[in-house]
Structure formats: C-alpha cells, structure tokens
Amino acid sequence: MSSDLGGRELHLSVHPVAAGHHPGAWRWPGADPLAFSRIEGYLEVAQVAERGRLDSIFLADVPGLHADIDDYPQLNGLEPTLILTAMAVVTERIGLVGTASTTFNEPFNIARRFRALDLISHGRAGWNAVTTSGPRVAGNFVANEPSSRARYAKAKEFVAIVLDLWRSWAPDALAADVASGLYADMSRIRPIDHHGEFFSVRGPLSLPPSEQGYPVLYHAGVSDDVRTLTARTGEAMFTAVVDIDTARAELDVVRSRAVAFGRPADAVRFLPGLVTSVGGTEREALERRQALDELSGTRGAVRGLAAQLALNPDDLELDRPVPPALRGRLHAVHGHARPAARRALEGQTVRDIIRRGGGGGHIVAVGDPEQVADLIQTWFTAGVVDGFTLMPDVTFDGLPAFVDHVVPVLRRRGLFRSEYRGRTLREHYGLPIPDVATRRPLAKAL
C-alpha cells in the first residue's frame, strides 16, 4: 500500500496491562502471571516501547478490585504515577500518561502529583482524567455512588481547577538568581481562589512548570459526556471504536464541539484502542489467537460480557444465546459494547459472542506484520484517527513483536518516525506549549 499523508504523522501509544489484554495472556508460556503487581515487567515495556520510538505509554487505573479474579488477574494493580516515575528513570524520550479519577480524588493532589511526574521526566507526562463508577469501587470511598450527572459535573470543575493550578506559575516566575538573591518572583505566582459547587481551592501550586509547560490532558471513554469533556479541555482521547464509520462519527462530534468551545478543530489527538496479535505469518497469528482463546477462563469472560451488556452474569449460559426475555434491553446498548449487543440480538451463543468480540469493543488486528500495518494505514489514511493506542494480546512478547516487525513496515511506508524529533510529549504529539500568561482562569468561567 502506498501512503499519501498530506503532512500528517502517525502517533502510536501503548497501553500495557498485567500479562496482556487477552484473558488468556497470564497463562501464556513465558508470561508472568503476577505481572500486575511487579514493576520489572513495566520497566521492560517502557524500554521496548522507547526502542520503537512510540509516542507514549498509557496506564489505566481502577482504584479497587472491580471484578472477581478467580480465573483472570486484576488488569491494574500498582498506582500509575508510581510506575511512570520508575519508567522515567529508565527512559529518556517516551511520553508517560497515567490515569487518575476525578470522582474520588482532590484537584490539588492530582495537579501536584502529575506536575511532579512532568518535572521528573523533563516534560513527558500526561494525565488521563476519568470519572469512576461501579459499586465495588465507589464503596471504597463513599456510602452512596454519585449519579452520572454528578460525576461529570464534578469532573468538569475538577479538570478546570487542575488546569488553573498548572497555570498558576508564569514561565519566568522561578528566578533562582544566586547573585541577586531573588529566588522567585511572587507577582508571577498567583493563587486561583476557586470556590465552586464541589471544591474550594486557594492555590497556587507548589511546583514550577516543566519543559513542556504542563502535562498533556487526556480523556478516555465512549459516552457523550466524555466527548463533551474532551472537546472542552482535552488534548488526546483514548476511546473504543470498531469500524471506520463509527470512528469518523466520533471524531466529527469531538471536533465540532471543540470548535464550539472556541478551540481549533484539530486540538485533540484521536487515539482509539487497537488490540494486536502479530505472527510471522497470518496462519501463525491466527493459531496464536486460537491458543490464547483456549487458555481463557470462561467465568471472567462471561462476567465481562455481562458488564458490557448491563446484564446479570448468572442469567447467561456459555453455550446458549442470551435469553429472549433479556434481549429487548440490548437495543439501548451503545458505544464499544454495541457489536456484542448486535451479536446477542442475532441469537449467537454467549461463547461465540465472547470469541468474536475478543477486543472488548476495540479494533482487533490479527495477522502478519504487513497485514497489521495495512489495517493501521487504512484507518490513518482515511483521516478518522491520528494514531492508535496499542493493546498487545500478551505484553512480554506481543509488544516486541509489534516494535520489531510492524514498526519497520510502517517506517518503510513513510507512516512512522525513525527517531524522536523532540524530548517532550507535546513535541511528540505536535501540541503547542500552553500560553499560561494570557489565559483567564478556566474554573471561574464554569
């Protein structure tokens, strides 16, 4: 395939979880079944990803045990900014993006934590701001889970406060002038004095800007509230789409809303998930996928499908279709779970739905390096994505397979960089350094 990019550059992030994104990954020969709680594997991932000149590493987070783990490990165990700080020490260029919830945190703590990561990494940090729901997690923090409306209203205020705190220092505030004795110009460090519906925060932040100003702001999800939040303040978006038409519609909504908020249409880098299974040949890749399917535990897979479809897992039998009495509610399922709902409405068995939906609502690439590169190129040249968030089926060998075999194909086609051209995450994504001196406080405008 030839490429006609019109000056566009493909962006690739990697989202490593535990042993891998496939439910059978933890049982794969050579995989570490305890990977979710060990730092060594994460550090190897960071070094492999940087060897491939990927833009960033993206770490999700769930602050609690969000599902039973009797036949499938917890995807996220260690706290993201701790992992990313360790990664910063063993890497030099790759971006470091971590997730932290706006539902069960305080804005000042998050602003400080990610500013610290940004300084330690010399301008390579990003914050994925998400809301958190579900009784298992909410019960760790509050007696009653907040409504969706309350979560997103709080998120809107939370994000604006964090941005104002990050902008509370002018770039020239820190003088550190030994000769004159002036350490900092306090007229250039300003409180934010925010008093809102959910938070009161005086400020300013206790740390100066980094080489990139402040961390890149991510949002992740598939809901309409996420689209609006991304359009208002986001700079990158991790989402789940399964076909080009869906991706185009999603991107059009975010861009049109960004313009309505007074931002450029291309202010957000659109980086949906891409689950990868790479083999030396197509047959090897398919056999790898089949072997992983056979290693998968069924109980966790059924629970995962039930969660996607908002059903009770006790009502589902593996080798039977979803009961007809429950199918009516599936017409209301949207977003990344829609393909699974469609298969259920067609009468496919629960087992078949699980196997055919192995990407969890994300794009799935199974094939040899040329075939995986073909899929990436098709989506990218269609103009519906700025790149992808890679989700290797098995982390320890799936990511090296992509870096060592797919990335060279992308380079030969003129799609992906051979070397980093900058040192900060903003430079990798082609994002500007924020102008903190002239912008009015965001939180006061809510």
Contact of 217 with 235, CB cutoff 8 Å = yes
- Give the residue from 133, 129, 153, 150 showing the smallest Cα distance to 141: 133
152 is in an annotated binding site: yes
Q: 33, 295 in Cβ contact below 8 A?
A: no
Rounded Cα–Cα distance for residues 9 and 427 (Å): 12
Identify whether the C-beta of residue 376 lies closer than 8 Å to the C-beta of residue 365. yes
Q: How far apart are alpha carbons 81 and 231 in whole angstroms?
A: 25
List the structure tokens of 250. 């999603």
Per the rule left: phi > 0, alpha: psi between -120 and 50, beta: everything else, 100 is beta
Q: Is 210 annotated as a binding residue?
A: no
Judged by DSSP in three states, 183 sits in strand
Is 223 annotated for ligand binding? yes
Is 99 annotated to bind a ligand? Reply is yes
Q: Which of 37, 38, 356 is nearest to 341 (CA)?
A: 356
Distances (CA, A) of 71 to 40, 75, 306, 337, 351: 23, 12, 16, 22, 16
Q: Which residues are known binding-site members for FMN? A: 61, 99, 152, 223
Q: Which residues are known binding-site members? A: 61, 99, 152, 223
